[in-house]
């Protein structure tokens, strides 16, 4: 079995470590900060493709469906680590607050019906499903059976499950230098040590751009900031996740998570007054009772986005033992199991899995 070094301790890197270790490979994860310390820890943890992203190619839907199915076997295994990933099932209520939104929601409903169950609701039906919803809502669409997890806990559970199969997870070990040897990457040097391996996986989120650049390759991934906040309330809590000018997720201890901005802000991860004000306004429009809800906390993360909004996965051009897994944008938690498994299979086989053909980093060089 090969020795593999993974650069990046987010949900994608840790999922890859999990599947490699489960197959018997010798794995080391290098994380410059803490596991789940970046976008994975900031994620809302939705196990559903975010519905505001418009039309996607059939490949994207296929990837999402296949990855979601893997959670059925993954979650029981992660439970043996003793880390509660807080997996929950919940219905999603999409709200239209005016006639223009209702027209757009009609189109969404037609598309959604082709994929899964989705029910058109009139105003009185909306309030039966979700009493906290804005009574001025024009219409709604109910999509049953969505799921979410605590993304930070999930990532930590993946890392722990990999450890229990022999993987080493090195926190506060950033990749300072990448050391080629004879046309292959030979080692990654950190501030404290040098890690040799047969294969390497670059799973550094938007920082993968810099990692690839050091090897003379171009991986066009960029950071897209997402701000979120949590509110105490509404009284009695929410029965559903609500989607509209913001999305609202009922969480533990009576909290409601409100997300999320989509901002081209470079590598500036801080929250902003304008961003949080916009989230709060969206939340209040959906659930008026949140107007007086105290804010518990606010945070932000930098999602890795590709020019075509599809993941970038496969061999790094010009290198036979360097793999890339990034660009999952807002769907990293959903796509983590399949991404980890596909990269693990590819590394072990020494060639890209067939499903990676359309996701290869080389597609941007054509």
How much is the pLDDT for 175? 98
pTM exceeds cut of 0.85 = yes
Beta-strand pair 26-31/222-232: unpaired
Tell me the C-alpha distance between 244 and 78, whole Å: 33
Q: What is the pLDDT of residues 290-314, one digit of tens each?
A: 999 999 999 999 999 999 999 999 9
What does residue 288 show for φ and ψ, rounded to 5 degrees?
-55, -25
Lowest mean pLDDT among 11-20, 25-34, 52-61, 255-264: 52-61
Radius of gyration of the chain (CA): 21
According to the 3-state scheme, what is the secondary structure of the chain? CCEEEEECCCHHHHHHHHHHHHCCCEEEEEECCCCCCCHHHHCCCECCCCHHHCCCCHHHHHHHHHHHHHHHHHHHHHHCCCCCCCCEEEEEEEEECCHHHHHHHHHHHHHHHHHCCCEEEEHHHHHHHCCCCCCCCCEEEEEEEEEECCHHHHHHHHHHHHHHCCCEEEECCCCCEEEEECCEEEEEECCCCEEECCEEEECCHHHHHHHHHHCCCCCCCEEEEEEEEEEECCCCCCCCEEECCCEEEECHHHEEEEECCCECCCCCCCCCHHHHHHHHHHHHHHCHHHHHCCEEEEEEEEEEECCCCCCEEEECCCCCCEEEEECCHHHHHHHHHHHHHHHHHHHHHCCCCHHHHHHCHHHHCC
The number of beta carbons lying within 10 Å of the beta carbon of residue 106 is: 13
pLDDT, the chain, mean: 96
Tell me the C-alpha distance between 342 and 251, whole Å: 31
Cis peptide before 260 (omega within 30 of 0): yes
The number of beta carbons lying within 10 Å of the beta carbon of residue 47 is: 23
Q: How much of the chain, in percent, has pLDDT values that exceed 90? A: 92
Going along the chain from its start, the domains and CATH numbers come out as 3-82+150-220+307-364 (3.50.50.60), 89-146+223-304 (3.30.9.10)
Q: What is the pLDDT of residues 87-118, one digit of tens each?
A: 999 999 999 999 999 999 999 899 888 778 89
Q: What is the pLDDT of residues 218-249, one digit of tens each?
A: 999 999 999 999 999 999 999 999 999 999 99
* Distance, CA of 296 to chain centre: 23
Q: What is the pLDDT of residues 134-155, one digit of tens each?
A: 999 999 999 998 999 999 999 9
């Amino acid at each position: 079995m090969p020795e593999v070094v993974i650069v990046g301790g987010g949900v994608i890197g840790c999922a890859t470590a999990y599947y490699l270790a489960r197959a018997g490979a010798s794995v080391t994860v290098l994380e410059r900060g803490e596991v789940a310390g970046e976008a994975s820890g900031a994620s809302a943890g939705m196990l559903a493709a975010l519905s505001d992203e418009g039309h996607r190619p059939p490949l994207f839907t296929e990837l999402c469906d296949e990855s979601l199915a893997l959670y059925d076997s993954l979650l029981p295994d992660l439970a043996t680590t003793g880390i509660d990933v807080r997996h929950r099932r919940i219905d999603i209520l999409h709200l239209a607050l005016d006639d223009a939104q209702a027209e757009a929601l009609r189109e969404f409903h037609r598309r959604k019906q082709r994929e899964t169950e989705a029910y058109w609701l009139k105003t009185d039906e909306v309030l039966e499903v979700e009493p906290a919803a804005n009574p001025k809502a024009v219409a709604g669409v109910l999509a049953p059976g969505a799921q979410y997890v605590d993304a930070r806990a999930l990532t930590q559970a993946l890392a722990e499950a990999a450890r229990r199969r022999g993987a080493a997870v090195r926190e506060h070990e950033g990749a300072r230098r990448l050391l080629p040897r004879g046309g292959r990457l030979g080692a990654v040097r950190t501030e404290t040590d040098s890690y040799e391996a047969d294969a390497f996986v670059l799973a550094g989120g938007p920082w993968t751009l810099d990692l690839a650049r050091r090897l003379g390759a171009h991986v066009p991934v960029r950071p897209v900031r997402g701000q979120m906040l949590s509110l105490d309330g509404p009284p009695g809590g929410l029965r559903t996740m609500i989607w509209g000018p913001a999305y609202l997720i009922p969480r533990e201890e009576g909290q409601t998570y409100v997300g999320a901005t989509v901002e081209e802000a470079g590598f500036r991860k801080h929250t902003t007054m304008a961003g949080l004000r916009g989230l709060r306004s969206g939340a209040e429009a959906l659930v008026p009772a949140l107007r007086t809800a105290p804010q518990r906390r606010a945070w932000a993360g930098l999602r890795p986005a590709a020019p075509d909004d599809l993941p970038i996965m496969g061999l790094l051009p010009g290198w036979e033992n360097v793999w890339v897994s990034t660009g999952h944008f807002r769907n990293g938690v959903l796509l983590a199991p399949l991404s980890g498994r596909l990269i693990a299979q590819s590394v072990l086989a020494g060639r890209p899995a067939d499903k990676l053909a359309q996701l290869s980093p080389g597609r941007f060089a054509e």
